Structure 1
Amino acid sequence: MEKNDLRGEKVKRFLFVLTLTISVLLVGEVQHVLRIDFSRQGPEIPETFHGIFFEDINHAVDGGLYVELVRNRSFEQKTRKYEGWQIERGDSVKSSIEETYPLNENNTHYFELKFPETDRATLTNLGYGGIVVFQGQEYTFSTYLSGDFTGTITALITDDNEVLASGNVLLHQPAGGWKKYMLNLIPTKTSTNSRLSISILGSGTLRIDMVSLMPRKNWNGMREDLLRMLEDLKPGFIRFPGGCLVQGNTLENAYRWKESIGSVEQRKTKWNFWGYYQTLGIGFYEYLLLCERLEAEPVPIFNPGISFQIESPEYASEEELKEWIQDVLDFLEFANDATDTYWGGVRASLGHPEPFNVKYIGVGNENWGPRYWENFEKFREAIKKRYPDVKIIFSGPPSYEGTDFRQAWRWARENNVEIFDEHIYASPEWMLANTDRYNRYDRNGPKVMLGEYAAHTDGKRNNWQAALAEAAFLTGVERNSDVVIMASYAPLFNRVGWSQWVPDLIWFDGYRVFGTPSYYVQRVFAENRGDVVIHSELTNEEYRMFGYRYKHLYHVVTYDEKSKELIIKVVNPWPEDRTVRLEIQGIGLEGNGKEILISGGPKDENSFDELKIVPKERIITGLNTSFEYTFKAYTVTVLRLKVR
């Protein structure tokens, strides 16, 4: 083993391992003093500081937040054409996917059945590993039909050959041109592994498109349990729709916002960068509604005329680039302008005459180099000419260190970029060693959006080790909220069994959801953000191991002006308790407050069956401006102290 590898292995064995004792400490012995000076107030913390990043990866939207239960509902998939479907037909029946008589220009394919004589056929959709339905709840089945077919079509929800709900569509006369048919289905029992079947009996030619099964209980097509998880995060902003999804594998399958609005049958099913087809059932309009519901600033990201830059990028020509730029201008008209404009009128026609007042636009995702910089300048010039108050976010490269990163920052500073989007996926050790990263940034700008970050352990587990490192890193980010104005963990969602990327913040299946340890760190930090950073210093802070510079404890102190509370956040990522005397100057305490504690073993993970890592609260009393507190091993602690 090489010398450097050996040192790395020693560090890994040391960090977060319960069985290794660093030193023997007496209970109650004070190792540190945390001095807090209320009279020395630092930067204000923006309301946008903690946010979420939403990308359709890991079936976060299709098969996730979007409540559509049918997979491959429109038969538009160019590869895996029959994905999600099973077909049974009588001997005389022929079937195929055709495009001669399309539903519309964006939805050109459909399923066709030919019955030369009276016969039977059944189409069964398996959903995403089974369809979940609940007893007594209403589900809307719908489909578009056309052709010269005469007969009966029955929609059934079944489980192990047991019919849970059914309804008939009778076509006593030829179906003719495309027409939408709907049925209300109410299952007689709950099933986590049901199927939707369309049973057909008759003769003639029948064309089927846009087969759908959706629970009536939803909010703008979104799952309410997943929405509640987002609401509890109290995000200050939502960055969407990606991510690499924005770039596309090619410019042809890059995200185009205009394809994502309007009626769902008019939305263009497209190949997703992450390896599956997306229906765009949740599009830009729904994202804006979601931002409104969560009281979060929208931060839409647009393609800069460059496909996925890491692998064989495709660059838009000068003429094509004008169209990409116009897409952004049209979006801002859609989001912000009056209803007497074309796109403002489109917004009003969708049911939202009031503007959304979008304040931020991101140009690019993980782009870099002269070609991107040239394109960015063209976007910025066009946007600022029509919308001078909109702040434009510049994309950093995938790396958070190194030559490309330094060159991007140099260009950003020299060209007066407003906001620089950094992405950091790093080991827990790196995060613990770099909590002072933003201390060194120029206070005059550009500002930073930490658009994607997460700690990646060995094996990329969503465990408490990773979450502790993220919490420690966040204390340093929060102290520098005059530089970092937005920060969002990534990715947000993962459907169990359908993932492309781990770790993730929220895991779910067809009927359950749980937050990972990282989720609860994010939630606790967002709930206890505060309005302004208060000066604080910890004695004996530095902690050196094997040449690495860490800290014994990681902390940040803020003040909540509304509740009149001092908020002290302390992270102890080590296998030893640390007793601290807190000395508070410049403000008096009422003597009571609240403790919010998250604790666990480094390898602990949450699951559907058990939430090992969750915050616990208790009231604390008898406090004064000097008191001792022991921060337990492997904990994130928040103290909210009432002040006079």
Structure 2
Amino acid sequence: MKNKFLALCAVAASALSPVTFSNAQSNNVYTVKANEVKATVQPTMWGLFFEDINMGADGGIYAELVKNRSFEFDTPMMGWKEQKKEGATGKALVHNREAINPANRRYIRVESKPGDGYGLTNEGFRGMGIKKGEQYNFSVLARQQQGNNVALTVELVNPDGKVIGTTTVTPEGQQWKEYKASFTATETEPKAKLNIWPKGEGTVDLDMISLFPQHTWKERPNGLRADMVQLLADMKPGFLRFPGGCIVEGRTLDERFQWKKTIGPVEDRELIVNRWNTEFNHRLTPDYFQSFGLGFFEYFQLSEDIGAEPLPILNCGMACQFNTGELVPMDQLDPFIQDALDLIEFANGSVETTWGKKRADMGHPEPFNMKYLGVGNEQWGEQYIERYKAFEKALTEKYPDIKLITTTGPFPDGEEFEYLNTTLRSMKDARVDIIDEHYYRAPEWFRENATRYDNYDRNGPKIFAGEYASQTVAIASPDNKNTWNGAMSEAAFMTGLERNADVVVMASYAPLFAHAEAWQWTPDMIWVDNLRSYGTPNYQVQKIFSTNKGTHVVPVLLNNEAVTGQNGTFASATIDKNTNELILKVVNTSDKDLASEFVVDGVKKLNKKGTVTVLRSDNLNQENSFANPNAVSPTQKQVQVKDKKVKLNMQPYSVNVVRVKMS
């Protein structure tokens, strides 16, 4: 995901005009050559791209409810407010101990007086989403001055100030110690706040003030939002790319993502600003930081949980070229390369290695079996090439089996793309395994480019379609929507990716998540608020392709040609050798009903019963929403099969996936 609007927001999408084909015909006869395998579909074919944009991590999938829990934001009290009832005399001061603990510099010292009325309130991430009957776990690092005896009353309150959950903790002693307490919420509230009321006379120091729901993904303490992870798991993704995106680069090199600072105890993970906080004037988000509670260990763990190959991307010594374009001099690049070598050891090394032991100490002695590593995000130019070569040399010498992913920059064409694409493909002094291409374009671009990879070199580097999404108004416009027209057009393009599975080995929509009240970029695959989440029509397309992948590509033809837009239809076909099924994906982008017949050659017979799963809407501007999350969602019915022929009536504006057993 890139700050592409600086160069591209003048590019209009022209996407809301009807997609019609007046010459659409009925009784189209397609031929499927089920015994002519053209390519193997990689298990990684359809996957996920995660970046902490649109409050995807803090305030999103990372279930922490307290914003600025350790007072490390640039404005230390951001998210916090002192509460003083009439006559209250307490006070709070932020202390900075950078010389002692630079990763967690600040804590707050609260002076409490006898009586009630002084306290602190945390607003959460656009409020705190609280569910009735659910348990919530409060924790705090605290210490007291000698002889003091200050208790802390902890409350969840709704916007009217009504208490909907409460507990008490009493810190003891002059050494920092973690204190925990749990309570059950009495009401459901999307906009709750957290109050902390000191009781008694004395001084208490507080840090890492935290509140998590008990119910997280796999019930891990202080873990991830279960509903959001479930949407990912339901897709059965082949890989998870993390942590981005422009997060990898940073606006400056000081703000880049450094994986080593995101592992170990959460209180020792050094918070930094999120580069998206003031990137877009239309969506300034000055309270957007990265706590790294979701760090590299958690990314690897999430990948394992959902059955996806982990695909980390690392900084290559270049900051975002749309911002500062800062460079690390070539003679100072070694620490960046060492970070890459150490990451592979962290992911795959034995517990006897330095970084493998750190992984084991975090609770995962077995290796994560990482197979892929990206060098840089969306860099371009000669500076990227020389840095990639330095990385490749060191990585190949020590870890030759790790597949390396390079980039052709932020655009699918143009000067930057042509230079990188030509240079990477012609290099003799460095290996190039997989090239990452990105496309943020209008819906019609996706339909027009379904043949993009038909003539790519079959013996050259493989392709990772790493970021793509239909821009329904203009690139990076805040008015882009997750419409059915955009999703259907992406489906048409994806049939071209699948037909060329001997070239394209990975693909992922981007961005993944967006918070309804804290987004910076649209469109996005999954939308959330503090309590709910839903998949867009684009999500439904990604899911239907990923869960109907198949193992081998076979031809599906119309008049002896690949189906790439004739009569408004786009198609691909695979067989699944594990289940002995034929899987057809056919997209009808026309406004006509298309009565079609698929003649399957190369099989003895087909099962008389098959299924067709359909995604469609008569309204090209249809979106899903919190109020109607299933406006565009799959329906399934039986399909007619007779004499090795599949009869299918494709409705207008529809994505159709047929599965039928072969013998």
Q: TM-score range by the shorter chain?
A: over 0.9
Calculate the TM-score normalised by the size of structure 1.
0.93
Whole-Å Cα distance in 1 between the matches of residues 596 and 113 of structure 2? 84
RMSD: 2.3
Whole-Å Cα distance in 2 between the matches of residues 56 and 185 of structure 1? 30
Q: CA deviation at 1:311?
A: 2.2
**Partner of residue 73, structure 2:** 77
**Partner of residue 213, structure 2:** 215
8 Å contact 2:55–2:514 — kept in the other structure? yes
Judged with a 3 Å threshold, the aligned counterparts in structure 2 of structure 1 residues 400 and 157 are, in CA distance, closer, same or farther, namely same
Whole-Å Cα distance in 1 between the matches of residues 60 and 48 of structure 2? 16
**Partner of residue 616, structure 2:** 599
Q: Which amino acid aligns with 1:15?
A: P
Whole-Å Cα distance in 2 between the matches of residues 438 and 21 of structure 1? 24
Whole-Å Cα distance in 2 between the matches of residues 152 and 461 of structure 1? 49
Where in structure 2 are there 5+ consecutive unaligned residues?
A: 1-10, 278-287, 474-478
Whole-Å Cα distance in 1 between the matches of residues 167 and 370 of structure 2? 44
Q: Which amino acid aligns with 2:263?
A: I
Judged with a 3 Å threshold, the aligned counterparts in structure 2 of structure 1 residues 22 and 14 are, in CA distance, closer, same or farther, namely farther
Q: CA deviation at 1:339?
A: 0.9
Q: Deviations over 1:509-549 (max 9, x none)?
A: 111111000000001001111111111211397999xxxx8
Residue 619 of structure 1 pairs with residue 641 of structure 2: no
Q: Deviations over 1:272-331 (max 9, x none)?
A: 111110111111111111111111111100000111112221111335411111111111
Whole-Å Cα distance in 2 between the matches of residues 624 and 227 of structure 1? 43
Q: Deviations over 1:407-454 (max 9, x none)?
A: 101111122411101111111111111100001111111111111111
**Partner of residue 635, structure 1:** 654
Residue 440 of structure 1 pairs with residue 455 of structure 2: yes
Q: Which amino acid aligns with 1:410?
A: T
The 10-residue stretch of structure 1 (81-90 or 190-199) with the greater mean CA deviation from structure 2: 81-90
Question: SS at 1:233's partner residue?
Answer: coil
Q: Deviations over 1:190-219 (max 9, x none)?
A: 222221110013333332111100011113
Q: Which amino acid aligns with 1:126?
A: E
Determine which structure has the larger strand proportion and give its number.
1
Q: Deviations over 1:81-133 (max 9, x none)?
A: 32222212365433332204888331111122335777752111111222122
The number of aligned residues is 623
Q: CA deviation at 1:583?
A: 1.6
- Find 2:266's aligned residue among 264, 267, 278: 264
Question: SS at 1:462's partner residue?
Answer: coil
Question: SS at 1:617's partner residue?
Answer: strand
**Partner of residue 5, structure 1:** none
Question: SS at 2:494's partner residue?
Answer: helix
Residue 15 of structure 1 pairs with residue 15 of structure 2: no
Question: SS at 2:555's partner residue?
Answer: strand
Whole-Å Cα distance in 2 between the matches of residues 424 and 10 of structure 1? 13
Judged with a 3 Å threshold, the aligned counterparts in structure 2 of structure 1 residues 342 and 542 are, in CA distance, closer, same or farther, namely closer
8 Å contact 2:132–2:186 — kept in the other structure? yes
The 10-residue stretch of structure 1 (533-542 or 571-580) with the greater mean CA deviation from structure 2: 533-542
Residue 514 of structure 1 pairs with residue 527 of structure 2: no
1:43-82 aligned at under 5 Å gives the runs 43-78=39-74, 80-82=75-77
8 Å contact 1:432–1:550 — kept in the other structure? no
Whole-Å Cα distance in 2 between the matches of residues 156 and 608 of structure 1? 29
Q: Which amino acid aligns with 1:375?
A: R
- Find 1:586's aligned residue among 572, 583, 602: 602
Question: SS at 1:521's partner residue?
Answer: helix
**Partner of residue 285, structure 2:** none
1:276-291 aligned at under 5 Å gives the runs 276-291=288-303
1:431-470 aligned at under 5 Å gives the runs 431-458=446-473, 459-470=479-490
- Find 1:338's aligned residue among 350, 357, 360: 350
- Find 1:191's aligned residue among 189, 193, 201: 189
The 10-residue stretch of structure 1 (184-193 or 373-382) with the greater mean CA deviation from structure 2: 184-193
**Partner of residue 608, structure 1:** 626
Question: SS at 1:374's partner residue?
Answer: helix
Whole-Å Cα distance in 1 between the matches of residues 514 and 299 of structure 2? 18
Q: CA deviation at 1:61?
A: 0.9
Q: Which amino acid aligns with 2:339?
A: D
Judged with a 3 Å threshold, the aligned counterparts in structure 2 of structure 1 residues 388 and 267 are, in CA distance, closer, same or farther, namely same
Where in structure 1 are there 5+ consecutive unaligned residues?
A: 1-7
8 Å contact 2:157–2:165 — kept in the other structure? yes
Q: CA deviation at 1:151?
A: 2.3
Whole-Å Cα distance in 1 between the matches of residues 55 and 118 of structure 2? 30
**Partner of residue 206, structure 1:** 204
Q: Deviations over 1:590-628 (max 9, x none)?
A: 221111011102111001111210000112344332354
Q: Deviations over 1:201-241 (max 9, x none)?
A: 33333321111000111134011111110011110001000
Q: CA deviation at 1:258?
A: 0.7
Question: SS at 1:383's partner residue?
Answer: helix
Judged with a 3 Å threshold, the aligned counterparts in structure 2 of structure 1 residues 73 and 11 are, in CA distance, closer, same or farther, namely closer
8 Å contact 2:16–2:485 — kept in the other structure? no
Whole-Å Cα distance in 1 between the matches of residues 419 and 654 of structure 2? 38
Whole-Å Cα distance in 1 between the matches of residues 98 and 439 of structure 2? 49
Q: Which amino acid aligns with 1:203?
A: E
Q: Which amino acid aligns with 1:351?
A: G
Q: CA deviation at 1:348?
A: 1.1
Q: Which amino acid aligns with 1:420?
A: I
1:203-352 aligned at under 5 Å gives the runs 203-219=201-217, 220=220, 221-275=223-277, 276-352=288-364
Residue 34 of structure 1 pairs with residue 34 of structure 2: no
8 Å contact 2:640–2:647 — kept in the other structure? no
8 Å contact 1:113–1:207 — kept in the other structure? yes
1:481-496 aligned at under 5 Å gives the runs 481-496=501-516
Question: SS at 1:282's partner residue?
Answer: coil
Question: SS at 1:227's partner residue?
Answer: helix
Question: SS at 1:579's partner residue?
Answer: strand
Q: Which amino acid aligns with 1:626?
A: K
1:129-148 aligned at under 5 Å gives the runs 129-148=126-145
Calculate the TM-score normalised by the size of structure 2.
0.90
